[in-house]
């Protein structure tokens, strides 16, 4: 058992539960404002989701794919993990107490340093077997995009000084970081893990098709960043670049999903029927995500999504709660890091579905000028309660389990 990553997963689930608590508090604030700083709690919520839950969970998956257990037991890795949790805890607490300020920026900077330490550790200690070179191509790109996204926070202070906090450049720098986190680092990790699973069953994608898929997704990810800048109406050239990017991403994801569908029998051998259904929705939501990005490149829809925030909030929750979190729950259970619970996942997923229907319905009604008859804030409170219950269920369940079987021996 790799004890360090076993603890890492439990702490990642703790961060996930903390996100759920903060999300519930934010929803209650919308019903009846009380004594919290909404923006500070919102920043704590989003940063902990990205850096505490998703980052650590994907790192654990990648470790179990390519790093020998003996290396994961090393003092170096233990210190990197300890330092990472120190920075994430600091981010969570400092944002709750002061929002963006001296300490939160300090802990964010330290977190970025921890990612550099991890990538250096990974490069020194990885062992990539010949049959896993295809999946590793995507994981290597995922880690590249993780480091690349870090340019955003480092440049943010410079952009504020040069252009001001209300400038388009300031917001585009924030979107740079976000885009290369969830549309690159997280997405390429998901693809790499999916391909690794197929490889473990003895199936390889033809080399020319793999290189074409990677080429399409890598460069379309770079180009699709510009879809995040269109709210400022930068001009036709940017719209054209963004359109090429999001169309390429849609096509690349379609090719990937078609390949996985052809080999769906491999998944049926290793996952329960319930988990297969959820994975199908994960991959379908990937295509939905790419389709929504296509709409965003048209100036009219870019402005609509910018002014009606529930479109953006619904989109982000689709990624975090509908794609990455279910995927991680299922694959972490596959490598025996957690025990999957149909009951708690159903509670969580019900909250996600209600949340998405409410957010997008409300946004569409605002857009069309229709009247909302139901109590929208209370629906979101109910949805966040279900989400919190499901998250907490997985966390408390993990405290009772011994975990740590590695991917190499279980697939």
Query: What is the per-residue pLDDT across 296-319, written as a single tens digit (0 to 9) for each?
Result: 888 888 888 888 889 999 999 999
Arithmetic mean of pLDDT over the chain:
91
Instruction: With CA atoms as reference, report the closest residue to 71 among 118, 130, 29.
Output: 118
Instruction: With CA atoms as reference, report the closest residue to 19 among 294, 387, 401.
Output: 387
pLDDT surpassing 80 at residue 207? yes
- The reported pLDDT for the residue numbered 158 is 84
pLDDT surpassing 50 at residue 117? yes
- The reported pLDDT for the residue numbered 374 is 65
Over residues 6-34, the mean pLDDT reads: 94
pLDDT surpassing 80 at residue 247? yes
> Contacts by 151-156 with C-beta closer than 8 Å and gap 24+?
151/176, 151/177, 152/176, 152/177, 152/178, 152/180, 153/108, 153/109, 153/112, 153/177, 154/112
pLDDT band at 209 (very low <50, low <70, confident <90, very high): very high
Q: HSE on the CB side for 390, CA within 13 Å? A: 24
pLDDT surpassing 80 at residue 407? no
Range of weakest confidence among 133-137, 193-197, 373-377: 373-377
| Rounded-to-integer distance, Cα 370 and Cα 364, Å | 8
pLDDT surpassing 90 at residue 130? no
User: Tens digit of pLDDT for each residue in 254-267?
Assistant: 999 999 999 999 99
| Rounded-to-integer distance, Cα 98 and Cα 243, Å | 39
pLDDT surpassing 90 at residue 410? no
Q: Is 62 helix (H, G, I), strand (E, B) or coil?
A: helix
Sign of dihedral through CA atoms 158, 161, 166, 169? negative
- The reported pLDDT for the residue numbered 296 is 84
Strands (E) in 288-369, as ranges, are: none
Fold for 3-410, please state it.
Answer: Cytochrome C Oxidase; Chain A (1.20.210)
pLDDT surpassing 80 at residue 373? no
User: Tens digit of pLDDT for each residue in 308-362?
Assistant: 889 999 999 999 999 999 999 999 999 999 999 999 999 999 999 999 999 999 8
Over residues 252-279, the mean pLDDT reads: 94
Over residues 194-218, the mean pLDDT reads: 93
- The reported pLDDT for the residue numbered 162 is 82
Q: What percent of the chain has pLDDT over 90?
A: 71
- The reported pLDDT for the residue numbered 1 is 46
Q: Residues 6 or more apart from 184 whose CB is under 8 A from it? A: 141, 142, 145, 146, 148, 149, 221
DSSP letter (8 states) at residue 230: G
Q: HSE on the CB side for 404, CA within 13 Å? A: 15
Q: HSE on the CB side for 215, CA within 13 Å? A: 6
| Rounded-to-integer distance, Cα 331 and Cα 193, Å | 9
Burial call 144-176: b when 16+ CB within 10 Å, e when fewer: bbbebbbebbeebeebeeeeeeeeeebbbbebb
pLDDT surpassing 80 at residue 371? no
Over residues 129-144, the mean pLDDT reads: 92
- The reported pLDDT for the residue numbered 277 is 96
| Rounded-to-integer distance, Cα 269 and Cα 274, Å | 13
Residue 45, both tokens? 């919520």
| Rounded-to-integer distance, Cα 240 and Cα 237, Å | 5
pLDDT band at 9 (very low <50, low <70, confident <90, very high): very high
pLDDT band at 402 (very low <50, low <70, confident <90, very high): low
pLDDT surpassing 70 at residue 251? yes
Over residues 290-301, the mean pLDDT reads: 88
């Amino acid at each position: 058992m790799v004890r360090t990553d076993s603890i890492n997963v439990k702490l990642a689930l703790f961060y996930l539960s903390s996100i759920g608590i903060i999300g519930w508090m934010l929803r209650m604030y919308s019903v009846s404002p009380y004594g919290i700083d909404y923006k500070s709690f919102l920043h704590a919520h989003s940063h902990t989701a990205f850096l505490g839950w998703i980052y650590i969970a994907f790192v654990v998956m990648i470790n179990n794919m390519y790093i020998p257990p003996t290396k994961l037991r090393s003092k170096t890795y233990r210190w990197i993990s300890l330092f990472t949790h120190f920075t994430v805890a600091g981010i969570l607490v400092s944002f709750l107490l002061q929002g963006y300020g001296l300490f939160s920026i300090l802990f964010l900077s330290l977190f970025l340093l921890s990612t550099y330490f991890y990538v250096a550790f990974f490069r020194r200690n990885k062992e990539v077997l010949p049959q896993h070179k295809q999946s590793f191509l995507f994981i290597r790109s995922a880690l590249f995009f993780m480091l690349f996204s870090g340019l955003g926070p480092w440049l943010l202070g410079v952009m504020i000084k040069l252009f001001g906090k209300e400038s388009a450049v300031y917001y585009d720098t924030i979107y740079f970081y976000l885009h290369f986190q969830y549309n690159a680092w997280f997405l390429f990790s998901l693809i790499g893990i999916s391909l690794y699973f197929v490889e473990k069953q003895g199936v390889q994608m033809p080399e020319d098709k793999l290189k074409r898929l990677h080429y399409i997704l890598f460069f379309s990810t770079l180009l699709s960043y510009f879809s995040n800048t269109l709210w400022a109406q930068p001009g036709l050239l940017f719209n054209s670049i963004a359109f090429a990017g999001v169309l390429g991403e849609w096509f690349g994801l379609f090719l990937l999903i078609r390949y996985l569908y052809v080999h769906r029998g491999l998944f049926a051998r290793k996952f329960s029927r319930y988990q297969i259904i959820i994975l199908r929705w994960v991959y379908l939501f990937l295509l939905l995500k790419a389709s929504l990005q296509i709409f965003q490149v048209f100036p009219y829809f870019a402005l609509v999504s910018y002014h009606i925030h529930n479109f953006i909030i619904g989109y982000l929750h689709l990624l975090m709660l509908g794609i990455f979190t279910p995927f991680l729950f299922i694959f972490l259970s596959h490598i025996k890091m957690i025990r999957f619970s149909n009951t708690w996942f159903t509670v969580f997923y019900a909250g996600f579905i209600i949340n998405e229907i409410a957010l997008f319905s409300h946004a569409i009604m605002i857009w069309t000028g229709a009247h909302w008859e139901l109590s929208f804030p209370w629906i979101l409170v109910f949805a966040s309660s279900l989400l919190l219950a499901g998250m907490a269920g997985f966390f408390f369940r993990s405290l009772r389990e011994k975990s740590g079987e590695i991917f190499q021996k279980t697939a």
